[in-house]
Structure 1
Amino acid sequence: MRVDLGFNTEQLGTLIEKVRDDPAAGATVWKASTTWKKGLRSEATIARESGSHTVPMDEPVALGGSDTAPNMVEMVLGSYGCCLTTGFVANAALRGIQLEGVEIEVEGDLDLQGFFGLKDPDEVWPGYTDVRAKVRLNAPSATAEQLQELFDAVVPTSPVGSIIARPVKVTTELA
């Protein structure tokens, strides 16, 4: 039994079945482009068939920016939290769990010595060395067991969580 949590569960269910029946249909490529604006401010643009989305990013004043938007490593944390939220809402709806709220706090440890190039990346990693998330699910009609099963299904299948937790091949070239 599905519940209405504000999105098209039928469309999602159909896509899941399509990928289940034809795994090649699940192989997708996602794209973004970025443009420097001014100072340490830049924008990421994500183009889709339905239109494009622009996301501004900037560094805090302490790192030389003008603090007009979140910085890139903050966006990673926000992306992880939002990815988990999407996973909880989608999976809850498909499992018939009526969610009334999802709140996730995400924090990460990053040593600026690596980012500034003061230490070799093998000595001080320039990215996050630890990321922690606290999840609060408000679902009064769900049992603790249902919420634990939902949690156990969502966390290991988070694409952003997987990107953060596992090595990903990154190819960057000067064009």
Structure 2
Amino acid sequence: MSEINGVDVEYLKQLVETVKKHPELGRTLWRARSKWKDGFKVEVNIRDFTIRMDEPKDLGGTNTAPNMVEFVLGALGACLVVGYVMNAAIRGIELDKVEIDVEGDIDLPGFFGLESPEKVSPGFTNIRARVFLKTKKPVSKEELKELHETVVKTSPVGNTLMKPVNLEVKLEERRTV
């Protein structure tokens, strides 16, 4: 097993080769279930994991957990970290540190419905990420630039935020849970 950055590079290369030969295996479905608990508290179940969410006190919550838009920022940062680790490992670049700071702007009048969504977006209007990489051995600026461009271009969360995605939200008869 050849491991770089904590990643089994041979396994990863085999996975990529399998999807290359059989693209249908690369079409995946991901799920999450969200349940209201109380106030603005929400519990989200993803696979075998439970994640809590809440609003900060200044937005009427109890500040017991990050809120939903903070999870979006965290998901983007985490997705980029995984992208750097994976793509660096494939290139043989050993990383010593990867940190990403992400921040975004939301206009509350849009969220509160005080302005029409066409005029003021209820979601993020700008998101900024700053990437800090430290490699174990010197790497050329060109290699880092290529790594960076690949990661940004192939980030699933980044692409979901950058490009329109088909979203369908249906109201259905309530099931008993």
Structure 2 length as normaliser, TM-score? 0.93
Alignment of 1:52-67 (within 5 A): 52-67=48-63
Matched, 1:68 2:64: yes
1:140 Cα shift? 4.2
1:37 Cα shift? 1.2
Q: Give distance in 2, aligned partners of 1:126 and 1:3.
A: 43
Q: Give distance in 2, aligned partners of 1:15 and 1:140.
A: 26
Indicate which of 72, 80, 84 corresponds to 2:80.
84
Higher relative contact order by CA 8 Å / sep ≥ 6: 1 or 2?
A: 1
**Which residue number corresponds to residue 152 of structure 1?**
149
Q: Give distance in 2, aligned partners of 1:27 and 1:114.
A: 34
**Which residue number corresponds to residue 125 of structure 2?**
129
> CA RMSD of the aligned region, Å?
1.1
Moved beyond 4 Å, runs of 4+: none
**Which residue number corresponds to residue 164 of structure 1?**
161
Q: Give distance in 2, aligned partners of 1:102 and 1:143.
A: 17
Which consecutive residues of structure 1, in runs of 5 or more, have no partner in the other structure?
none
Q: Give distance in 2, aligned partners of 1:96 and 1:7.
A: 11
- Contact residue 58 and residue 68 of structure 1 kept, 8 A: yes
Q: Give distance in 2, aligned partners of 1:32 and 1:84.
A: 21
Q: Give distance in 1, aligned partners of 2:41 and 2:157.
A: 23
Identity score, percent: 49
Give aligned pairs, total: 170
Structure 1 length as normaliser, TM-score? 0.94
- Contact residue 4 and residue 93 of structure 1 kept, 8 A: yes
**Which residue number corresponds to residue 174 of structure 1?**
171
Q: Give distance in 1, aligned partners of 2:55 and 2:97.
A: 31
Deviations 1:64-96 (A, max 9, x none): 100111100010000000000000001101110
